[in-house]
Amino acid sequence: MSQPTDFLLELGQLPEDCVATLAPSFDLLPPNPYQDGGFRLRRYSHFRIDGEQPVRLPTKAFVQDGDINTFQGNVERTYPEIEDCVVDSAAFREMFRRFRDMTGLEENTPIEVHQMRILAGKDAVTEAAPEGVHQDGFRRLAVFVIERRNVTGGEIRVHTAREAQPFVSHTFDHGEFVVLNDERFWHSAGPMEASNDDDAYMDLFVLTA
């Protein structure tokens, strides 16, 4: 399947059974030893698509150029892999299928996946995207928000340029997602705050290719 040169942006919704399958795995995310570890928990893996099945590729470190990530660029980060029980689920395959079909990715294109929980505090604002308005340095990017709990703010935003106001700003939840051309658009997230004294967080997968 060839990649459509005119692909720009698409919104979508995962089925409820996919959300119910994927949500519990975020409770098992390990501590994060890097600069954002106080407010972001993470697993990271990369795959290729073989038919309908994501095939895990060897573990590698995640690093972004400092020009792209002004928060912790040029830092080689190694995170635990996404668990096999998640990768082997029909829900994970469905997420990959949506990403592939919407962007027209060719078979065997490497896809990097971040599974993250962003924690919100009661007495302090959490910057969900401390990089600010940014691009990730890929051709295709998707953000699947699986669950928001006791959070105000944290809107996912899409911009036409770094200095432009967002033309998409939405509190994605319960499997809502956005797939975008990362070469054409910029993205960010609004600051988050806990709405009560209970645990407060936003759980999401970020896919890049």
Whether 122 shows a pLDDT value over 80: the answer reads: no
Residue 15's domain spans which residues? 9-208
Can you give the CATH number for the domain in which 76 is found?
Answer: 2.60.120.620
User: Is residue 166 situated within a structural domain?
Assistant: yes
**Mean pLDDT, the chain, as a whole number?**
88
Our count of domains for the chain comes to 1
Q: Percent of the chain beyond pLDDT 90?
A: 67
User: Is residue 2 situated within a structural domain?
Assistant: no
User: Is residue 184 situated within a structural domain?
Assistant: yes
User: Is residue 3 situated within a structural domain?
Assistant: no
Whether 60 shows a pLDDT value over 90: the answer reads: no
pTM equals 0.89
User: Is residue 1 situated within a structural domain?
Assistant: no
- Residues near 101 by beta carbon (within 8 Å), at least 6 away in sequence: none
Whether 188 shows a pLDDT value over 50: the answer reads: yes
